[in-house]
Amino acid sequence: MSERPPERVVIRGVKPELECGRFPVKRVLGETVAVEADIFSYGHDALECVVRYRYEDDELWTEISMEALGNDHWRAQFPVDKLGQYIYTITAWIDPFRTWYQDLLTRIRADQDVTVDLQIGAEMLKAASERAMGADARKLQHAARHLRIEDVDDRLAALASRYAERSRASHYRELRVTVDPIRARFSTWYEMFPRSCGTFKDCERIIPEVAEMGFDVLYFPPIHPIGRTHRKGKNNSREAEPGEPGSPWAIGSKEGGHKAVHPELGTLDDFRRFVAAAKSLGLEVALDLAYQCSPDHSYVREHPEWFRWRPDGTVQYAENPPKKYEDIYPFEFETPHWRSLWEELKNIVEFWIDQGVRIFRVDNPHTKPFDFWEWMIRDLKKKHPDLIFLSEAFTRPNIMYHLAKLGFNQSYTYFTWRNTKHELTEYFTELTRTEVAEFFRPNLWPNTPDILHESLQRGGRPAFMARLVLAATLGANYGVYGPAYELCENVPREAGSEEYLNSEKYEIKQRNLDDPSSLRPFISRVNAIRRENPALQSNAHLQFHAINNDQIICYSKRTADKRNVIVTFVNLDSLWTQSGYVELPVEDLGIDVRHPYRMVDLLTGVRFMWQGSRNYVELRPSEVPVHILRKE
C-alpha cells in the first residue's frame, strides 16, 4: 500500500489520444484541439477539471476550464498557432468550496440554519487566500473575515475554486499534438515530368499555367542523373535503345547521385531559380524521395556495405516477383552499418531543403524500417517544422496508418480502387469519422504515372470528370498526373493492365496541352471552387446522404458554423443518364425547411429551386456527370 493518499478523481476515455499517448494527433495552424474525457469521483463532491497545454519549448502551462456536458463527460478546447508540437493533459480535483457552496444553497432553500456552514466557508476562504496572490488574495481575505449569506455568489465560488488545494489532484498522462502548415490539410497537386518539357528554364514557362489552373503544389518525379547499366527502354522493355532516357527512379550515374540534377535539365542554380519562380506564384515544388540506386551510383562503389551482395558477387537488384528491376539496387537497411546509411539518407533531404524544397513525396516508405522514418522525420522537423512528407505506400491499412502516426503528413489512399457508392461511402466514413482522422490525412489521386485504373480506361471523358470531382471534393488534399489527365489519356499497355501504354516513365512525351478537347477548363473551375469554399478545404464535416439510385453518390461538406455548405452529386455510370431523389438532412446543413431555397451549380451556374429535404437530381454523362451545389 502506497504511503501517498489515493487519488479521488478518475480520468478516462480521453480524446484525442493515440495508443496511450505513444503518437501525437495532428492539426494545422489556426485550428483548435477539442479535448474530451469522462471524469468522476465517488460521492457527491463537486469537481474542477482543466485542460493544461503548452508549446513544446515553453515552460509555463496555460489552463482552460473544462465544461461539464452531463453524464460525467467534460470538454474544453485550446488553439494551436505555432508550427511544431504542443503538449496537453488534464488535471482534475475535488473542489471543496464549490461543494460547500452547492450544499449551502440547498440548505438556504430548505430554510435551515447555516451559521456553522458560514464559519466553515470562511475557513475555506482563508485557506484559499493563503494560496492566492495580489488582489485575489486580498478579496479572499476580506470575504473570509466578513462572510455573510448575501456575499456568497458564483463569482466568489469561482475565485475560491481558482485557488483550491490541488495536492491530491489527478493528473492524466501528457499527450502531444503536431501542428503542421495549412497546406498539410489543404493542397492541390500537379505531377509532371520536367524532362518532357525540356530544361528547368523551359519549365518556368509552365508555372503560370499550372498556377492559373488552381494548383499549389508542383510535383516532380526524380530529377537526378539516370544510370546507364541495365537501363530500361520504352514500355519498360528490358533493354533501352540508343537515346532512350531510362526511368528517373534508376538514380545515379557518373554525373552524380541523389544530390545532383540531371545535366539535361540544367544546373542546381537553374533548379533554385525554378523553385523561387514557383513560390512567387504560390506554388511549392515537391520532389520525389526515392531511396534506391542505379548500378552506376557512386554509393555502390563507395559504400558497398549499404547493399545486399549475392553469392555470385553481384548486388541484389529490386524484385517484385515475377517482375525484375535490374536497373535499381535497393539499400540494405539490415546492414550492420545502418547508422551511417541513415545519416546519409537524412543528409539527402537536408540537401534539398537547402535548395528551397519543403515538400517530399516519399517512394515506397513501407519497404523501409519504421524506426528510420520516425527518427528522420522527427529530427528534420525539429529544425524545419514546415516540412510536408507525402507517403506513397499502397499497402495494407495497418502499415499505411502506422506510417502516418510516425510522422508522414499526408498519404496516398485506396481511392483509386474505390468506385462503387458502397465502397466510397464505407472508405471515406472510415477516414473521416473514426480515430483515423486524428492522424491520417488522405491525398486522393485518380491517376498516377503507375496507375491507370480500369474505370478511366473504359469510362472515357465522363469518367475523368467524375473521378476528378470525387477526388477534389471528398478530399481536401488531391492531385493528378497532370498532362495525362488533362488529355484524358486512357490506353493501357495491355488488356488487364493499369500501366499506361508508352508510359512517360520510360520515354519523353510531347503533348499538345492546348488541345480544344482538354479538361483544363474543367479542372481549373473545380480548383477555383475549392479555393472559394472553405467547406472543401477540410475533411472534418463530410457527410453522405441517401439517394434512391446506387449509380449516384451524394455527400456534403460544411464549415463548423454552417455558413458554407457544399452538396456534391456524382454519376458513377459513365455511359447512361441517372436520376433519383435525394434526402438531405436540411437542419444539419442549416437550411430552413419552411421556405423554398435556391441551389446553384458552381460548375455550370445553373440554379435549382428546391423545397424541403427531398429533391430530384438528374445527371447526364454526355454533358456534365456531376453537380457541385451551394445554397444561395
* Domains annotated on the chain, with CATH: 1-94+167-180 (2.60.40.10), 96-163 (1.20.58), 543-631 (2.60.40.1180)
Flag whether pLDDT at 419 surpasses 90. yes
C-alpha 316/C-alpha 319 separation (Å) is 9
Query: Which band of pLDDT confidence, cut at 50, 70 and 90, is reported for residue 5?
Result: confident
C-alpha 315/C-alpha 600 separation (Å) is 61
Query: Which band of pLDDT confidence, cut at 50, 70 and 90, is reported for residue 618?
Result: very high
Q: How far is CA 449 from CA 89, 162, 206, 452, 506, in A?
A: 45, 60, 19, 8, 10
Query: Which band of pLDDT confidence, cut at 50, 70 and 90, is reported for residue 3?
Result: confident
pLDDT tens profile 210-261: 999 999 999 999 999 999 999 999 999 999 999 999 999 999 999 999 999 9
pLDDT tens profile 150-197: 888 889 988 998 888 888 999 999 999 999 999 999 999 999 999 999
Q: What was the pLDDT predicted at 151?
A: 81
Grid cell of 617 as nine digits: 437530381
Q: How many CB atoms lie within 10 A of CB 102?
A: 15
63 assigned to active site? no
Query: Which band of pLDDT confidence, cut at 50, 70 and 90, is reported for residue 321?
Result: confident
Q: Which of 48, 191, 332, 363 is catalytic?
A: 363
- Alpha helix (H) residue ranges in 331-447: 338-354, 370-383, 397-406, 421-433
For 64, residues 6+ apart whose C-beta sits below 8 A from its C-beta are 50, 51, 53, 76, 77, 78
Q: What was the pLDDT predicted at 593?
A: 83
Average pLDDT, rounded, for the chain: 96
C-alpha 370/C-alpha 526 separation (Å) is 37
Residue 175, strand partner residues: 88
Q: To which residue does cell 512567387 refer?
A: 280
Q: To which residue does cell 458552381 refer?
A: 602
pTM of the model: 0.95
Flag whether pLDDT at 616 surpasses 80. yes
Helix, strand, coil percent values for the chain (each to nearest 5): 30, 25, 40
Sign of CA dihedral 348, 351, 352, 358: positive
Give the residue-averaged pLDDT of 327-352.
98
Instruction: Kindly give the interhelix angle for 134-145 and 154-162, rounded to the nearest 10 degrees.
Output: 120
Flag whether pLDDT at 357 surpasses 70. yes
Q: Which of 31, 117, 191, 392 is catalytic?
A: 392
Q: To which residue does cell 492566492 refer?
A: 132
Amino acid sitting at position 36:
E
H or E stretch covering 627: strand 626-631
Q: What was the pLDDT predicted at 1?
A: 63
User: 64: closest CA among 36, 22, 31, 94?
Assistant: 36
H or E stretch covering 77: strand 73-79
C-alpha 68/C-alpha 37 separation (Å) is 10
C-alpha 239/C-alpha 250 separation (Å) is 14
C-alpha 290/C-alpha 414 separation (Å) is 21
Flag whether pLDDT at 390 surpasses 80. yes
Q: What was the pLDDT predicted at 27?
A: 99
Q: What was the pLDDT predicted at 457?
A: 98
For 445, residues 6+ apart whose C-beta sits below 8 A from its C-beta are 189, 412, 415, 416, 451, 471, 478, 479, 480, 481
User: 180: closest CA among 86, 286, 79, 83?
Assistant: 83
Q: What was the pLDDT predicted at 304?
A: 98
C-alpha 499/C-alpha 449 separation (Å) is 8
Flag whether pLDDT at 486 surpasses 70. yes
pLDDT tens profile 84-112: 999 999 999 999 989 988 888 889 899 99
Q: To which residue does cell 482543466 refer?
A: 50
392 assigned to active site? yes
Give the residue-averaged pLDDT of 462-483.
99
Flag whether pLDDT at 581 surpasses 90. yes
Residue 219, strand partner residues: 191, 286
Q: How many CB atoms lie within 10 A of CB 178?
A: 23
Phi, psi values for residue 380, rounded to 5°? -70, -40
C-alpha 72/C-alpha 598 separation (Å) is 43
Flag whether pLDDT at 592 surpasses 90. no
Under DSSP, is residue 23 helix (H, G, I), strand (E, B) or coil? strand
Flag whether pLDDT at 412 surpasses 80. yes
Q: How far is CA 102 from CA 39, 47, 114, 140, 152, in A?
A: 19, 12, 13, 18, 11
C-alpha 611/C-alpha 480 separation (Å) is 37
pLDDT tens profile 108-141: 899 998 889 889 999 989 999 999 999 999 999 9
Q: What was the pLDDT predicted at 103?
A: 87
- Percent of the chain whose pLDDT exceeds 70: 100
How do 329-330 and 359-363 pair as beta strands?
Answer: unpaired
